[in-house]
Every structure is written in structure tokens, then in C-alpha cells.
Structure 1
Amino acid sequence: MESLGELLKSWPGGRSLSEEAERKLKELMRDPLVIKLREKYPDVDEDAIRLNLNRVYQYVSEYRNCTNCPGLDLCPNDYEGHYTLLSSETMNGYTQLIDRKVSCKKFLARQNEEVIRSRIRSFYVDDAALRRGYSSDEILTNDIERAKAVGQVLRYIDRTREQGLGYEGLYLAGRFGTGKTFLMCYLLQELAKAGHSGVIVYMPDFVEDLKALMHEPVKLKETVELMKSTDLLIFDDIGAENLNPWVRDHVLGAILNYRMERKPTFYTSNYDLEALERHFSFTSKDGDELHKGQRIMDRIRPYVETVLVTGENKRGRK
């Protein structure tokens, strides 16, 4: 933003700088914002305004900029997302105007969004799904067929806000494209606003990467520890992965064993719980292992509320 000194220097010749400064002073004295400032601080007379002309000019100019805000990215003020506030202090008979920078609502909102976003980690899930915002009313009316499922998710969010984090999660089962992942991203965002951390993992890609991480034990341990410790963990599209015994028993089993009576785990799947157990009971390497499928389900089934997500396939819909 142009300072008062720069503004005065830019005036065409014929008048002295002092004349232009006096003219600017008279203009500022008539400004409603300055009149309001003087009503709040009666000691601020014309001499005080004259002595602090640059501060007062900046105060008025930045207020006007904020009134006609072009958006945070185009903020014309000296400090993006901040404006000047003035207060008065009288010492030894002299009135001094004190300026300070204050964050605007848009800047505070962006900061809050960044804090919320920092609480959420995604593995192989499109970040756009996490950033996309919908109101609870909108997701309720988006597809009336899935209203019951949406109601269960909203009740879970409200209950967690009121009672704190429990260890029961949600298991969202339904056909392709009914919005299961979106509902879980919505839950993550809403509970991140309440201060909870979260991780969402797209299982098919995650399992493939785990096979490579077998040879990077430090990175593997960091990944597993993150999933153990996060407040909210979502396994997205579980059952669609190409499973092997090591992933099932030593990675997924270890994560679920740690979380099952500590923190909630959430799932989206095209399978119901019985079909998921059959999926976990068979691997391409060892064939049928019913007891191992049952063992992993013992760490899932008792710790989730099942949510059946019905409705039309929204993928590719415009």
C-alpha cells in the first residue's frame, strides 16, 4: 500500500508538500472513521492527528481496503490479511497514537483451515475429496436413498463431539459410487475441527506399497506407528486389495490389535462383514485359512457400527 509520504511526493508541482499535508489533514479530520476514533479517544485533537498523520492515513486506507476486500490473495494492505487499529495514550501531557496490526476474519479462517488440514493425513486418497466442503443439510439431501446412512454418520460425529473419542468406529458397506469415501472424508474434516487427528488410506494402493516397504524397515515402522496412534483411522475400499499373509497378519493385524480397545477404526467396502471375512480367509499364496480370516475379523466386527450406504452410483455423473 502507498504511504502518505509517497502520495504527497506524487502530487504535481505548484503546491508545497506542507500545503498538501494540510489539505490531507483536513480531509482526514472529516473522515467518519477518524470522527469515530476521536469520539472514543477525546484527547485526540487536530495536533495529535497532524503528528501521527501517516498512521491515521494508513488506518483509514486499510479500513477502506477491507471494506472493499478483493480476497485474501489480492489483499492490498501492507501485511496480507491484516489491518491497522489505532489506540491513544497520553503521557506527560502529550497524546500519542499507537498502531497495531490485527488479523482479519479471512486470514483467521485460512489459518484455521490450515490447522485442520494439518491434522489429517491421506495415503493414496485424492486430497480434493478432503478439501471439498459440504454442509450436513447438503449431504442429507444429495441422495435421499442414502439419508439413513448419512444420519448414522452425523449422529456419530455429534456423539464424539459431546462425549469424546470412543473406540467404536463405523463400517460403511455398499455398492460402487454411493459416496462412502466422501462420507468418511466429511467425518474426518468435522472431527478434525474438534481437534482430532486422522488418517485415511486407500487399501488397494497401500497394500501394493507395503510389499515394497518390506525392504525399508524404518519407513515401514513409521507408517505403522502413525496408523496405530492417529485418533481416527479409515481404511478405504477394504476388501479390494490383493492380500498376502504378511500384510494381513503382520501389518493390518498389528495395527488393529493395537487400536481395537483404544481408538476407533473406520472402513468403507463393497463387501458386508461376512464377505470381508471370506476375503481375509483366502490368500493367493496359502489358499484358505479360515482361522486367520476369523482372527482379523475379531479385531473388526465387535468394534464397528455397520452403516449400509444405498443410493445411485455418482461416479462420472455431472
Structure 2
Amino acid sequence: MKNMAQEFSGIIAKNHWNKKYQELTQQALQDPDVQKFIRQHQSQITTTILNNNLDAIYEFVQAKNHKNNFASEYDPFLRLVNQSIQVVYRPNPKLSAQKQQIALEHKFMTLNMASDIRQANLDDYAQGALGRQESYAAALNFVLKYSQNPQQFIPGLYLCGKLGVGKTYLLAAIARELVEHKVTVLLMHFPTFAVQMKNAIQNNSVLSQINQIKAVPILMLDDIGADSLSSWIRDEVLGVILQYRLQEKLPTFFSSNFSMAELQKHLTVNQRGDEETLKAARIMERIRFLSQEIIVSGPNRRFK
């Protein structure tokens, strides 16, 4: 049997790897950042140290040029430790910021909402807004309490007020603040979702879609009461979602043009004109448990 060491030496000699390696390391030594490092440590780095650490210098240049997948996410740096040149890696700030943004977007889920809704923030909501003090304070209070103890049940907010006063914007601003604390939030336009649920009957996906929504840590139902809900949507969709969240004590947010009292009247009369007082009261009982009513007032800012 051949000696493995001799065989490997033969392969190296045949392919002139030593010469090629020398060429590559010499090129690495001419790299501007390597030259700068050597100048900074010229009183400490000897020819012997350089010769003994050519592999580290070569690794640094290769990593800097992103020729290796791992290094593409990190910035390499050279350092001198006990007469040894080492390569250290630090996270690339740009890529780290991009990853953080992607992670936040995954936690800030939206359904049938405007594409720019994730840009909302509480500071912009509060600035120069007459009639928003109470809602702004309530939003800050929720974010503070929930971020400190997410295991404790804290009712969400039921934001009611006229068109254009910023109810949806405030929901989105709260959501953005929460995802900064690594909380998963789903903000959805409920009237559009109700229409989708009717269509979901055809492919038998109603239950699976409800199950995906009902258990999210923070659920925000925008524009509830904006249309006339059928008894089926009210009881078998909205009712099922709210019942689960009540049982699991999961904070839920709402926005509506109706106050809670007005929403109860709205939910009482079904699309056929029949009054279903008890069923509407059951829905409202859950909404009142899951959220705190806050009136949002002020001018219509939608057309400014």
C-alpha cells in the first residue's frame, strides 16, 4: 500500500500547488488593507511573523472580497495577538439592518391593508393632533405594560371616531411599536376579510383561515362595523375568533366609526332585517372584555 503522505506530496508537486500558493499569498500581501495593517504594526511584525501567518492574511483578503458565503454576512478584520495574526469577523451593519427589517416585517403581518401602513409611528400620530391625547396616551400605556409583561392579559384598544381622524394609522403605529419589542401582530381590514370568508366556503377553507388568525398574539381588526355583517359572519367567523381570544386572554384591537353602543345596535339587525339582540350582545360582551373603548377625535386628516 502506498504511503499517503508521499502520495499527497506527489500530487502537490505535480500540480505546482506550492508555486500557486506563493503567488496567491503574495497578491494578498499587496492588498491595501493588509498593507495598512502592516504599517500600523510595523514595530511588532517581523518577516518571520508574516511568513508564519500568510494563511490568515490570505483568508482575510478572500473574505473581504466575499469569495466565501459565510464571510458575505460579516466584515473581516486583522488583529495581532501574541505574535500571531488572526482574522476576526464582525456582523456587517448593513446586512444586520436588512435582516432586522425583514424580521420585523415578518412579525408585522397585514391583511388587505395599504402597502405603506408599516411606516406609521406614534411620534407622527401625536404631533399637532388636537383630540388625540387620550388615544396616544392609551397606546403608549398598552405598549409599555405589554412589553414589560406579555404573559399578563392587558385589554387592547377599541378606537372609535369619525372618518379620517387617524384610527387605522394609530393601530399601525401601535403594531410597529410592538414588533420593535419582537411581538407578532396581525392588522387586517375586517370588511374585506368577511367577503373573503364567504368565498372561502367554496373551497372549504373557512376553518383553516380562521385558525391562522385567531391565535396571533396581537390581533387588530380595522373598520369593524363598516358593512352589514351577515349572521353567519358575525357568529361563525367573528364570534369564533373573539371566543378563542377571550378564552386564551389574547389582547385584541378594533377600529370603528361606531362607539361600542352603536356597534351593538348595528350588529343586532341582520341583513334580512331581523333583530338578534342576544347574539349581538354576546359579540359585544367579548369585545368589551378584550378591549378598552377610546374615542379618537379631531379633524379629518385624510384629505390634507
Report if TM-score (shorter chain) is over 0.5.
yes
The match for 2:108 is 120
How far off is 1:292 after superposition? 1.3
The match for 2:251 is 264
> How many residues align structurally?
276
> Which stretches in structure 2 are left out of the alignment for 5+ residues?
1-22
1:158 aligns with 2:150: no
Provide the C-alpha distance between the structure 1 equivalents of 2:167 and 2:75, rounded to a whole number of angstroms.
43
Q: Name the SS of the counterpart of 1:283 in structure 2.
A: coil
2:215 aligned residue (209, 213, 229): 229
Provide the C-alpha distance between the structure 1 equivalents of 2:41 and 2:113, rounded to a whole number of angstroms.
52
Task: Return closer, same or farther for 1:235/1:29 CA change in 2, 3 Å cut-off.
Answer: closer
The answer to whether the Cα contact below 8 Å between 2:28 and 2:61 also exists between their aligned partners in 1 is: no
> Which stretches in structure 1 are left out of the alignment for 5+ residues?
1-16, 64-75
Q: Name the SS of the counterpart of 1:196 in structure 2.
A: coil
Deviations 1:49-90 (A, max 9, x none): 467679658869999xxxxxxxxxxxx866655311224567
The match for 1:70 is none
The match for 2:129 is 143
The answer to whether the Cα contact below 8 Å between 1:28 and 1:57 also exists between their aligned partners in 2 is: no
Q: Name the SS of the counterpart of 1:115 in structure 2.
A: helix
After superposition, the CA RMSD in angstroms is 3.2
2:90 aligned residue (93, 97, 102): 102
The match for 1:168 is 155
1:84 aligns with 2:94: no
Q: Name the SS of the counterpart of 1:177 in structure 2.
A: coil
The match for 1:66 is none
How far off is 1:167 after superposition? 4.5
The match for 1:288 is 275
1:45 aligns with 2:46: yes
Deviations 1:159-215 (A, max 9, x none): 111232524111001111111111111211221222222211101111111111122
The answer to whether the Cα contact below 8 Å between 2:73 and 2:91 also exists between their aligned partners in 1 is: yes
1:253 aligned residue (220, 239, 248): 239
How do 1:301-312 and structure 2 match up within 5 A? 301-312=288-299
The answer to whether the Cα contact below 8 Å between 1:245 and 1:285 also exists between their aligned partners in 2 is: no
Identity %: 22
Normalization by structure 2: what TM-score?
Answer: 0.78
Task: Return closer, same or farther for 1:168/1:51 CA change in 2, 3 Å cut-off.
Answer: same
The match for 2:164 is 177
Provide the C-alpha distance between the structure 1 equivalents of 2:87 and 2:120, rounded to a whole number of angstroms.
37
Q: Name the SS of the counterpart of 2:236 in structure 1.
A: helix
How far off is 1:127 after superposition? 3.2
How far off is 1:109 after superposition? 1.9
How far off is 1:120 after superposition? 2.7
The answer to whether the Cα contact below 8 Å between 2:142 and 2:154 also exists between their aligned partners in 1 is: no
The match for 2:182 is 195
